[in-house]
Amino acid sequence: MYEENFDFTASPFSIAPDPHYLFMSERHKEALAHLLYGIRRESGFVLLTGEVGTGKTTICRCLLEQVPDDTDIAFIYNPKLTVEELLATICEEFGINIQGKLNSIKVFVDHINSFLLRSHAKGRKAVLIIDEAQNLSVDVLEQIRLLTNLETNERKLLQIIMLGQPELKEMLQRSELRQLAQRITARYHLEPLAEREVGAYVAHRLTMVGGRSKIFPASTIKLLYQLSKGIPRLINIICDRALLGAYVQDQDQVTTSILKKAAREVFGDDGQQQNRKMSYWSIAALFLFFSGSILAAVYYYQKPQKEAFFVQESVTQADAVEKVEPITPIDHLNTIDPAEARKKVVMVEQVAQPTADEVEIQKEMDGTDINIETQEISQLKWPGDKVFEESNDMAYTALFASWAVPYIPGSGSVCAFAESYSLRCLDLQGSFDSLVALNRPAVLTLYDENGECFFATLTAFHGQTATLVIGSESKIVTIEDIGSRWFGEYTLLWAKPAKYTSAIKPGNITENVDWLDKKLALIQGRPPGSRDSMIFDDALASQVKQFQFSRNLVPDGIVGPQTIIHLNSACGNDVPKLIVMQEDN
């Protein structure tokens, strides 16, 4: 109804799980990385949990668009099935023709096993995806576990992905399901959006249908986060109702009063009363928490000093995939010898000790020692005397200039030009935090208030502000201003090893093994190993995984662009950075 009024090409806040509208927050990127990693790893189960409406199904639809062509998918939407019904549905999804009327569990399993063996012989993979898996019975879960026993000497014949609400995690802690829980090779719990991501989410949805970014002014975003708790489905429902309200009132923007009214219509008065009750309980809980903290502090400082150690419960990574050694999940401490757990945590602390570079980055992210009032802040907009078509060449001219390379616009592909200077392009989509973690200048894809696309180069980060080269001028703008015009797309340059052609994987025989060993030796403060071969062996792969873990990267041992970028930073290579340490000046 309101689409034509706002010049939308479609409804921006549909709750259908359309991957075209997927907003790749840091959490959603990590969740998708878990699923992709689980498929590539070809073993066991992959588990994705999250509250209702956080985007699990949409991520799964996005996954389906990225699976290789040699993959057969069986998707179970309604898991409230008996064992026989589940097996029959799997056969239907895989297109397995079942002959005869008297089918039993054995008959179904035999047919599935034969299908998987034929697929394996053809070089194909088979993946079973189960949505709303918290509705599965214990008997059905046990049968699903038994399906993973179908394997060859080299790999599992069936990969299984389960999506479910938080209750699924609780189910898997039951003793009768411990064998299944032990086979989960990658798991991730999808949290709601953070407050700073809600504005970018709304702008992203509006941009996808040709809408203006200022329909929801900044004053409404904080309120929207409070009303929705960052849950994408609730954001969609509230925004949809708010746009209808703005249309009825003949308003060009959604005001806070319209948003509040929309929320009342969505939640109802009972919902508002429930929120108030929760607020009272929250205040009480907060009081108890602080009281307990004070008592704990008094006890701590009065008791004799004893050895203490901390165990990290979960790993938040740019594209992390599973909890790997040496981390000891806190949920399992009751089954692990305390002395052994302490050794493992000490290992983690030795590996994950922050470098001076990371300390400097964290200070900037925290905004310490930043005085925004002393900076001359500019508005982020494209210069009126230049056309948008010029922005691409100007942005890459500034990007190459940060590497002291004279870029020549119109000289062919940007990435081919970079190769001639031993540089490579890296196109990514992520949060500002992930960009700063890479600590390299980058070309950002931005949009003005009319939805026009232009490019600018991020050359420095100052905590609450950043330096952007817009056109031919360098300006200081606020991070908030960037966030209102940027949906996470960026391109940066990175310096590759001399003999690098593609990602270095364990087992590879390459001249870059010596380069890799010397980098890690410098970081670890040890002499380089005397290598008689160029094989990327298990010992070196283990060191790479530890380094990746310490840098919040996927600890898979594969040395690709992001790992190389972090290696160069940790070794103090002479490369341009968004945040320059004091001693570098």
Range from 6-10, 102-106, 354-358 that averages highest in pLDDT:
6-10
pLDDT in tens, 412-448: 889 889 999 999 998 887 778 888 889 999 999 998 8
Question: How is domain 26-190 classified at the architecture level of CATH?
Answer: 3-Layer(aba) Sandwich (3.40)
pLDDT in tens, 279-318: 444 444 444 444 444 444 443 334 333 333 222 233 333 3
Residue 142 in this model has a pLDDT that exceeds 70 = yes
User: How many angstroms separate the CA atoms of 192 and 234, rounded?
Assistant: 10
The average confidence (pLDDT) of the chain is 78
- Rounded to 5 degrees, what are φ and ψ at 502? -155, 175
pTM: 0.49
Label each residue of 478-544 as H, E or C. EHHHHHHHEEEEEEEEEECCCCCCCCECCCCECCHHHHHHHHHHHHHCCCCCCCCCCECCHHHHHHH
What are the C-alpha distances in Å from 54 to residues 17, 164, 207? Answer: 11, 11, 20
pLDDT in tens, 183-197: 888 888 999 998 888
What are the C-alpha distances in Å from 273 to residues 222, 226, 269, 278, 561? Answer: 20, 15, 6, 9, 51
Mean pLDDT lowest among 128-132, 250-254, 332-336, 371-375: 332-336
pLDDT at residue 374 in the model: 56
Give me the CATH topology for the region 372-495: Cathepsin B; Chain A (3.90.70)
Token pair, residue 53, equals 């409406």
pLDDT in tens, 8-25: 888 889 888 787 787 878
- Among candidates 187, 129, 134, which has minimal Cα distance to 160? 129
All residues at 6 or more sequence positions from 59 whose CB lies less than 8 Å from its CB, including other chains: 22, 28, 31, 32, 35, 48, 190
Peptide bond into 383 cis (omega under 30): no
User: How many angstroms separate the CA atoms of 1 and 292, rounded?
Assistant: 53
**Type and span of the H or E element at 463:** none
All residues at 6 or more sequence positions from 571 whose CB lies less than 8 Å from its CB, including other chains: 519, 522, 523
User: How many angstroms separate the CA atoms of 398 and 404, rounded?
Assistant: 10
Average pLDDT over residues 235-243: 94
Give me the CATH topology for the region 195-271: Helicase, Ruva Protein; domain 3 (1.10.8)
Strands (E), 290-435: 423-429
Coil, helix or strand at residue 444: strand
Give 347: exposed, middle or buried? Use CB within 10 Å, 0-12, 13-18, 19+. middle
Band of residue 269 on the pLDDT scale cut at 50, 70, 90:
low
- Among candidates 63, 69, 68, which has minimal Cα distance to 24? 63
Domain ranges of the chain: 26-190, 195-271, 372-495
Band of residue 581 on the pLDDT scale cut at 50, 70, 90:
low
Please state, as a whole number, how many other Cβ atoms lie within 10 Å of the Cβ of residue 508.
16
Range from 146-155, 226-235, 363-372, 425-434 that averages highest in pLDDT:
226-235
Token pair, residue 348, equals 């983690």
pLDDT in tens, 27-77: 888 888 888 877 776 667 889 999 998 888 888 888 887 777 888 999 998
pLDDT at residue 240 in the model: 93
pLDDT at residue 276 in the model: 44
pLDDT in tens, 527-557: 887 666 688 888 898 899 888 878 877 777 8
Residue 397 in this model has a pLDDT that exceeds 90 = yes
